[in-house]
Structure 1
């Protein structure tokens, strides 16, 4: 799943499928009959249906599923790891520990509120593009928005671009570690892996695609910069792509 631009994107799923994985590319807003924007509440039951659909396919190993999300979807996959037992691997790419924008309803009826930001904190570069580094509010100031990550009982690969101009990634890692030390320190050591991309920007894709330093973002109706440098960003994508495949194979393919 991708981020706050909405719709359906099949690039990363297609490349994974070419390497032997059964992959479902899933839209969650802004597509056909789904909610039009992220101000609406999402529900883990919708994602449970997708998990069930994949696991009932006759050519899919029934050992569980992995979920991977970029940007806004990075928080969704954390919620799925905490609420759907069939999820056996969570990969969050430049995501957030809070539920961004609209709320998320869990299967037990509890609701995680949405974390918003302030567009006035977007810095305008000399070229006229926006820098959203400080756009989103601090999760610790809004505890009801924080996903119960202590409930996740599977492998979590958390990737942070160190020059991300969309989320303050290093602060997010600090918050995650602080929360887990308070709530479930064993889980921090047992399940979580933190990976960094030095001088990489926000928009992480499979390797060897053109580096994207800035692009139009329809959520803010303007051009946003994403950070990073072409060389370092590309190196990070190559290393991350290798690790993603390793994690999925280790966690989803049963030992012989």
Structure 2
């Protein structure tokens, strides 16, 4: 390796959403340099990206300002070497369909969710390696214990700060239609200084297999557990997709517990219940023995049709038209809209304008219309993201396969929408909005100086 050239990463280790600056120096002016990134996930799959750059008059390349002429991404994009990674061999939909790991079915590397991710960076001229560097993306900072929750019928995982000398805010994090425990956002939220309970509610251990007639009292027990075990200053909740729907349901029906909420790609109503074996039928949620009103799924295809059409379409089955037809009926607006104006704290809704799984941006606008009409007493915001679909990852995450997912329970190839580059760009706006929202709900983070 020629030691006159160098690669610099700033900072070399940081919480995953932190902006990372990559720069190279020591090349000849005008020299063509390929800068690449590489990681190996826990399943042994190699993911890699690269861009071809031209050194400036000082022999330097700064990815904040230098365009990639070609590669796995093109143009000026400081995060391109993170989001444009592809698995090797080159992925097509069969990589996701045939995957055994749920992460791979979602089109992202498979890692222990609290493990630090090591990304190797290299600079080549021709076939010659000129420089290398490593960046370590931390998912969970020191001082947090990860504990299983099995208390009565409650199931989940808590990320709890060991230092109990002062109170802090607590967040309940909820998964979407894939079930299990939510561990995409949870470790990062805990790293900001909050206690986080990732509460499973279906498709986990001895919990129900599907989302059907799940009592809100289960989550009420979860809030009471948080009050008893974590003693938080306040409780907030967040979730994405069906978890975003559930977030608005809980904020509306249990405002005495929920003092802030982030609903990510949600809908303005409750949806029909869903079971991977039986399909769509009945309510998703009940409360005090009564069904939560929901939008019947008259225009959604059967799972058999979804699978067939998903296999034929280039980016999977687009469910949005069917959902929109169901949700735009006057009787649904009149009878099934969630009473979000009853929420007990600030609300943040985050949507992708090109969501092909369901019309979350349109639905979030309906929520805002209702809040405005009802004179909602707390701050609220709808962050609608351009060139973004159903997936809203955190920054410095792989998004190269984000146009679709292979649903791990339904075994259907589903369209998500957006573009990989647009989804990556929106991830920064999403994370910054989330951090700011929790500052509003809880005050300053318990840890000073954490990246936002």
TM-score (norm 1): 0.87
Q: How many residues align?
A: 248
**What do the CA deviations read for 1:90-135 (whole angstroms, capped 9, x no partner)?**
100001111122222234x443133343116966564372112213
Q: Distance in 1 between matches of 2:418 and 2:315?
A: 18
Which structure would you say has the larger Rg? 2
1:105 equivalent to 2:289? Answer: no
Q: Distance in 2 between matches of 1:174 and 1:19?
A: 29
**Which residue of structure 2 lines up, in the alignment, with residue 47 of structure 1?**
219
**Which residue of structure 2 lines up, in the alignment, with residue 131 of structure 1?**
318
Three-state SS of the structure 2 residue aligned to 1:247 is helix
**Which residue of structure 2 lines up, in the alignment, with residue 66 of structure 1?**
236
Q: How far did 1:139 drift?
A: 5.5
Contact kept in structure 2, 1:139 and 1:145, CA below 8 Å:
no
Distance 1:174 1:15, change over 3 A: closer
Q: Distance in 1 between matches of 2:251 and 2:315?
A: 39
**Which residue of structure 1 lines up, in the alignment, with residue 266 of structure 2?**
95
Q: Distance in 2 between matches of 1:16 and 1:33?
A: 27
Q: How far did 1:30 drift?
A: 1.1
Q: How far did 1:219 drift?
A: 5.0
**Which residue of structure 2 lines up, in the alignment, with residue 114 of structure 1?**
294
**What do the CA deviations read for 1:138-161 (whole angstroms, capped 9, x no partner)?**
164424432211211310101111
Q: Distance in 2 between matches of 1:248 and 1:180?
A: 20
TM-score (norm 2): 0.51
Three-state SS of the structure 1 residue aligned to 2:261 is strand
Q: Distance in 1 between matches of 2:206 and 2:328?
A: 31
Q: Distance in 2 between matches of 1:144 and 1:131?
A: 26
Contact kept in structure 1, 2:368 and 2:382, CA below 8 Å:
no
Contact kept in structure 1, 2:201 and 2:207, CA below 8 Å:
yes
Contact kept in structure 2, 1:88 and 1:252, CA below 8 Å:
no
**Which residue of structure 2 lines up, in the alignment, with residue 86 of structure 1?**
257
Q: How far did 1:81 drift?
A: 0.9
Match of 1:193 among 369, 381, 385: 381
Q: How far did 1:4 drift?
A: 1.0
Match of 2:370 among 172, 179, 193: 179
Q: How far did 1:192 drift?
A: 1.9
Worse overlay, 23-32 or 144-153: 144-153
Three-state SS of the structure 2 residue aligned to 1:101 is strand
1:19 equivalent to 2:192? Answer: yes
Contact kept in structure 1, 2:180 and 2:200, CA below 8 Å:
yes
Contact kept in structure 1, 2:353 and 2:361, CA below 8 Å:
yes
Q: How far did 1:48 drift?
A: 1.1
Three-state SS of the structure 1 residue aligned to 2:418 is coil
Structure with the higher fraction of residues in strand conformation: 2
**Which residue of structure 2 lines up, in the alignment, with residue 10 of structure 1?**
183
Q: Distance in 2 between matches of 1:126 and 1:221?
A: 15
Three-state SS of the structure 1 residue aligned to 2:198 is coil
Q: Distance in 1 between matches of 2:235 and 2:186?
A: 14
Distance 1:31 1:19, change over 3 A: same
**Which residue of structure 2 lines up, in the alignment, with residue 245 of structure 1?**
435
